[in-house]
């Protein structure tokens, strides 16, 4: 995807808090993520706003190879099914807009692991937040009624589902901390 493309789609995601750090199997892809939430501004005041993205999330991902990628994302709706529009942006666009996220940022280490032990191939993402005593698991599903059996390595530390609790959305955590 180029820096000017925006891809919109449905995101179907379930999320749980964890009571402890799971023992993550070998082979997990590890990303370092910084993300911040934009304060709304007029289109005349910001390059991203001029491009039609006056709000949303900025994200910097450092992949296992060391490659950095930058994204601007807008999510709408609530609950398990939401609309997500995401586009990859340049480092310069990220650096220019990043100051608008001051006071609304989080950093986390994400472990991504495909698990097909149950016969359903799902990618589980386990987030360990750097500045919050919080670990969460999430999985994107093909539809809102799809089963998502917990992998054996994750099941013992599942605390509770927070998919419908807006206080556990990353934006709320970045702005208000733990509920």
Distance CA 41, CA 48 (A): 10
Pair of tokens at residue 79: 């609950």
Rg (CA), the chain: 17
DSSP 3-state of 148 = coil
Angle at 30 between CA 25 and CA 34, to 5 degrees: 145
Domains of the chain in start order, with CATH, are 7-176 (2.40.320.10)
State the CB neighbour count (10 A cutoff) for residue 36. Answer: 23
Whole-prediction pTM = 0.86
pLDDT digits (tens, 9 = 90+) for 26-65: 999 999 999 999 977 665 666 666 665 567 899 999 999 9
pLDDT digits (tens, 9 = 90+) for 118-159: 566 889 999 999 999 999 999 999 888 888 889 999 999 999
pLDDT digits (tens, 9 = 90+) for 71-80: 999 888 778 8
């Amino acid at each position: 995807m180029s820096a000017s493309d925006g891809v919109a789609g449905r995101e179907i995601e379930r999320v749980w808090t964890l009571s402890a750090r799971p023992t993550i199997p070998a082979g997990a892809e590890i990303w370092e993520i910084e993300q911040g939430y934009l304060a709304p501004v007029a289109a005349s005041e910001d390059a991203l706003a001029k491009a039609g993205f006056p709000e949303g999330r900025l994200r910097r991902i450092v992949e296992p190879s060391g490659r950095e990628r930058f994204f601007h994302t807008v999510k709408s709706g609530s609950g398990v099914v939401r609309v997500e529009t995401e586009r990859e942006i340049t480092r310069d666009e990220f650096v220019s807009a990043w100051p608008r996220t001051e006071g609304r940022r989080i950093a986390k280490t994400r472990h991504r692991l495909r698990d097909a032990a149950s016969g359903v191939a799902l990618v589980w993402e386990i987030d360990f937040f750097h500045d919050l005593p919080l670990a969460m698991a999430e999985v994107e599903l093909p539809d809102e009624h799809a089963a998502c059996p917990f992998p054996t390595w994750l099941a013992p530390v599942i605390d509770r589902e927070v998919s419908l609790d807006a206080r556990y959305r990353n934006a709320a955590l970045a702005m208000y901390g733990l509920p």
